Amino acid sequence: MPDERQGSHHADNSTGRDRTVLVDSGYGRDANITLAKVSAELAGRPLDWLVNTHCHSDHMGGNAAVRRAHGCRLSIPIGEALLIEAWDEQALWLSYADQRCERFAFDDTIAPGDVLDWGDLQWRAMAAPGHDMGALMFYCEEERLLITGDALWENGFGVLLPGPGHGERLAATRSTLESIASLDVGTVIPGHGHPFSNAAGALERSLQRLAAFERDELRMARHVLKVMFVFSLLDRQRLPLSRIPGYLATIPVYADFNARYFQLSDAALAAMIVGELERAGAVKRSNGYLIACV
Ligand SMILES: [Zn+2]
């Protein structure tokens, strides 16, 4: 799940002598772009293995298409298996948040502590709970590489849901950031944005953001709605301004959060979300439509 100012997801491709591996498959809408990039990278070799850092629609959206095209093994974090088997549209933030993902089957699961041989390198799966309680990150000590998914980006981390269990998610986020700080990391390969080298700086920025969320649950709630809204705006390309209040009323995440935290009319909720995103430079108005600025 991208931040309101983050770009689209980059799938990370790793090739080795023995097998080729793709970590995460991007948005479902971009499946053809992902497939073309993977084919270009593989230069005729088959893709052997697709792995997910966690099961959100911008990381698993291409799973079904990639698996269909390559017949590859698909592994997901062990903590996501029950949700994927049940295809829990609320817990997976699918119809609940107006997101889409083609349903897929997986072959097996990866657990924290598992050692994986990718691209002729050894990678250790590590628990990365917080944004997604079942998420994993992957660490290669030899090359000082860390694939973080949405656990750490250069400027922040994946959205944290307030509400029941939010204290547990905040604590888990802190422990994940602390476990990253304990590693010797040269390059972070995040789930959004380009690889970066200053892990310490990114951790500091994320800890500041986390502290702000710890102080203010309402801030978390506003942040979630803004992130979800931009996510859907990117997916839909644009929304007529006049239809935004009605749109928000039909998508459960907005209705639930509005009832719990804001108690605003649909029009006032739309004005709050759109106004804050406009001031942040994340969206703009154009000929009666709202569009995302990427
Ligand atoms: Zn995510």
- The percentage of residues in the chain with a pLDDT greater than 70, rounded to a whole number, is 94
Average pLDDT on 191-213 reads 97
Residue 231 CA to ligand 1 centre (angstroms): 11
Whether the Cβ atoms of residue 195 and residue 188 lie closer than 8 Å to each other = yes
Residue 12 has a pLDDT of 58
CA 17 / ligand 1 centre spacing (Å): 30
Whole-number Å distance, alpha carbon 54 to ligand 1 midpoint, is 7
**Rounded mean pLDDT, 23-36:** 94
Tell me what the mean pLDDT of segment 153-168 comes to: 93
Mean of all residue pLDDT scores within the chain: 93
Amino acid (one-letter) located at 110:
I
In the reported structure, the alpha carbon of residue 1 is separated from the centroid of ligand 1 by a whole-number distance in angstroms of 4
Band (pLDDT 50/70/90 cuts) for residue 8 is very low
When pLDDT is averaged across residues 120-124 and rounded to a whole number, the result is 94
Residue 116, pLDDT > 60, answer: yes
Give residue 157 CA to ligand 1 midpoint distance, Å: 9
Q: How far is the CA of 119 from the centre of ligand 1 (A)?
A: 24
- Could you write out the DSSP letters of every residue in 143-186? TTEEEEETS-BTTB-S----STTHHHHHHHHHHHHHHHHTS--S
pLDDT at 7 over 60: no
The tens digit of pLDDT for each residue in 76-94 reads 999 999 999 999 998 899 9
Check residue 46 and report its DSSP letter.
P
Query: pLDDT (tens digit, 9 = 90+) per residue, 230-267?
Result: 999 998 889 999 999 999 999 999 999 999 999 999 99
pLDDT at position 108 over 90: yes
Q: Is 50 exceeded by the pLDDT of residue 4?
A: no
pLDDT of residue 42: 92
pLDDT at site 9: 46
pLDDT at 215: 93
Instruction: Using the mean position of ligand 1's atoms as its centre, give its distance from the Cα of residue 44 in Å.
Output: 31
CA of 173 to the centre of ligand 1 (A): 13
Name which of 109-118, 136-145, 162-171, 197-206 the model is least confident about: 162-171
Per-residue pLDDT tens over the stretch 214-232:
999 999 999 999 999 999 9
Position 13 scores a pLDDT of: 59
- 59: CA distance to ligand 1 center in Å? 7
Specify the pTM.
0.90
**Degrees, nearest 5: CA angle 126-127-131:** 130
Residue 160 Cα to ligand 1 midpoint, Å, equals 10
Beta-carbon neighbours within 5 Å of ion ligand 1: 1, 56, 150, 158
CA–CA separation, 189 and 226 (whole Å): 25
Mean pLDDT, residues 28-37: 94
Beta bridge partners of 115: 124
What separation in Å is there between the alpha carbon of 288 and the centre of ligand 1? 31
Cα(first)–Cα(last) distance of the chain, in Å?
15
The pLDDT tens digits of the residues spanning 11-29 come to 555 655 678 999 999 999 9
Ligand 1: centre distance to CA 25 (Å): 12
Distance 108 CA to ligand 1 centre (A): 20
| 106 alpha carbon – ligand 1 mean position (Å) | 18
CA of 161 to the centre of ligand 1 (A): 11
